[in-house]
A and B are shown apart, each in its own frame.
Chain A
Amino acid sequence: GQQVMQIPQYQHVQEGEDFTTYCNSSTTLSNIQWYKQRPGGHPVFLIQLVKSGEVKKQKRLTFQFGEAKKNSSLHITATQTTDVGTYFCAAVTGNQFYFGTGTSLTVIP
């Protein structure tokens, strides 16, 4: 069945450092979505990538979809304490959503 792995599982960074989380699927995806969950909160949709090799930016966040549509990455430039939370990718194939294992980001002031 579909497996979606994210690495790393945890990441601690100093405020101002960059951060990257990677999402890998065992199969080719229709598209991929990214969500952020603040501590004690619920997942909130960030973005969807559809095209092979697609790159999208939201302020300090850069999202990339792999050429083979099997992997994706989220990069945050110059992290801030407001970036704290768990970042999930969600692989979309047909009618199914498969959430990744998540990467928990801690930003040290």
Chain B
Amino acid sequence: DAGVIQSPRHEVTEMGQEVTLRCKPISGHNSLFWYRQTMMRGLELLIYFNNNVPIDDSGMPEDRFSAKMPNASFSTLKIQPSEPRDSAVYFCASTFRSGTGPYEQYFGPGTRLTVT
């Protein structure tokens, strides 16, 4: 299994530009999570999907952030317009939820976003 795949691995963009991060979860997993990691704020859960449906998006910072999961094998996190404070590493993780767990999350390699 290839694991969770994220693209791009690195993104450098100018303030005001639109940024789209992509994630392919592990085949067969039914839950997908988007996280943001910074030195100041640590690892923050932005949103998670269960069976392609957004369950909790309370961690999404503001309306500039949006996430979609059109099918079980693909998700996007979009930032429009981007700002320097959005600079961070964005992780996607997936798991298979059934019954009582263990629900271990498998993380992708992350996308390092720099907004200048």
Contacts and interface: CB of A to CB of B under 8 A. Distances in A.
Interface in B24-45: 33, 35, 42-45
Interface residues of B, number: 22
Q: Which of A33, A42, A90 has the largest count of B CB atoms less than 10 A from its CB? A: A42
Contact of A42 (B50, B91, B101): B91
A95 B108 contact: no
Interface residues of A, number: 20
B61 interface: no
Contacts, number: 49
Contacts of A52: none
A50 B100 CA distance: 10
B9 to A, nearest CB: 11
A92 interface: yes
Chain A contact residues, majority secondary structure = strand
A92 B101 contact: yes
Contact of B105 (A45, A50, A96, A102): A45
A41 to B, nearest CB: 8
A88 B43 contact: yes
B99 interface: no
B102 interface: yes
Contacts of B103: 33, 48, 92
Nearest to B103: A92
Interface of B: 33, 35, 42-45, 48, 50, 55-56, 91, 93, 101-110
Interface of A: 31, 33, 35, 41-45, 48, 50, 88, 90, 92, 95-99, 101-102
9 contacts: A31-B101, A33-B102, A33-B105, A45-B105, A50-B101, A50-B102, A88-B43, A96-B56, A102-B43
Closest 8 CB pairs of A and B: A45-B104, A42-B107, A48-B102, A99-B43, A43-B107, A101-B42, A42-B110, A42-B109
